[in-house]
Amino acid sequence: MQTTNVTCVICPKGCNIEVDHENRDGKEVVLAVRNNKCPRGYKYASAEVVNPERVLTSTVRLEGGTYPRLSVKSEYPVPKTSLFDCMREIRTVSVTSPVKMGDIIIENVAGTGVNIVATHNG
């Protein structure tokens, strides 16, 4: 068994949560979670140990717009292990103005099942 300390970022309290976990047949399994002050902290800390995910923010080239770059983000969190693959794909993309906030810029980025969308009009 291993214990990992996780600082929860879901709310401003910043609980220091302890997660007991172990590897069973190549997969991390959560055994116990302590020091969370709410159920959201429990869920966050458990996921952070088993399968950490992040919302990815970046920019892509924008042709014919007011600015040369367009801000984008992932619609949903992507696995932390896929962030570099996602960025490799994002760097190759160029879009042409006009683009509206919420438009899908890349479907299924790096095979994650998550879309990259515009966060600004361009």
Average of per-residue pLDDT across 46-53: 94
- Reported as a single tens digit per residue, the pLDDT across 101-111 is 999 999 999 99
Task: Give the burial class of 14: count Cβ atoms within 10 A of its Cβ; 0-12 exposed, 13-18 middle, 19 or more buried.
Answer: exposed
82-121: b or e for each residue (b if 16 or more CB lie within 10 Å)?
A: bbeebeeebeebebeeebeeeeebbeebbebebbbbbbbe
CA 48 to chain centre: 11
Average of per-residue pLDDT across 67-88: 97
Please report the pLDDT score of residue 6 as a whole number.
95
Please report the pLDDT score of residue 86 as a whole number.
98
Per-residue pLDDT band at 46 (split at 50, 70, 90): very high
Domain covering 57-118 in this structure, CATH number: 3.10.530.10
Amino acid in the structure at residue 83: L
Please report the pLDDT score of residue 87 as a whole number.
98
Per-residue pLDDT band at 37 (split at 50, 70, 90): very high
3-state SS class at 98: coil
